C-alpha cells in the first residue's frame, strides 16, 4: 500500500491506485481521481453511476461489474463507455473510492 495526496488529504491506495478504505472517499477525492483518469470535469451523469456503485457496494459488499451495470441499465452501455472510457466499471469504482469490481481483469 501507498499513501497518496488527493484533494488535500493523505489516503492509502493499493498497487493499482484504488482507495484502501472506501470510507475516506468524498466528492473532492472523486474529482481528483477522475482528473488523474482523464475525466474532467465529473458531470451529474458520472455522479449518477458512481452513487449507484457506492450504494451497491454498501448493500452487497462489492462494486458491481460491468455485466451488472449493463443488466440494470443504469445508463445505456454505449454511454457508460463514453463516460468512463477504457473500462467503465473499473474507472467508476476507482473514482467512487471502491475496490476493483470482481471479475475485472
C-alpha cell at 9: 488529504
Residue 1 and residue 20: Cα distance in Å, rounded?
8
- For residue 55, the surrounding DSSP H or E stretch is helix 44-60
30 included as an active-site residue: no
User: How many Å is the Cα radius of gyration of the chain?
Assistant: 13
Closest alpha carbon to 90 in 68, 66, 70: 66
Find the catalytic residue in 28, 87, 104, 105: 104
Residue 12 and residue 64: Cα distance in Å, rounded?
22
Q: Which residues are catalytic?
A: 104
Amino acid at each position: 500500500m501507498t499513501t497518496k495526496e488527493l484533494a488535500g488529504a493523505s489516503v492509502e491506495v493499493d498497487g493499482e491506485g484504488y482507495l484502501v478504505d472506501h470510507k475516506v472517499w468524498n466528492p473532492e477525492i472523486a474529482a481528483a481521481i477522475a482528473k488523474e483518469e482523464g475525466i474532467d470535469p465529473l458531470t451529474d451523469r458520472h455522479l449518477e453511476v458512481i452513487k449507484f456503485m457506492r450504494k451497491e457496494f454498501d448493500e452487497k459488499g462489492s462494486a458491481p461489474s460491468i455485466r451488472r451495470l449493463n443488466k440494470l441499465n443504469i445508463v445505456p452501455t454505449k454511454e457508460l463507455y463514453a463516460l468512463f472510457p477504457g473500462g467503465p466499471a473499473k474507472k467508476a469504482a476507482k473514482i467512487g473510492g471502491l475496490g476493483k469490481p470482481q471479475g475485472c481483469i
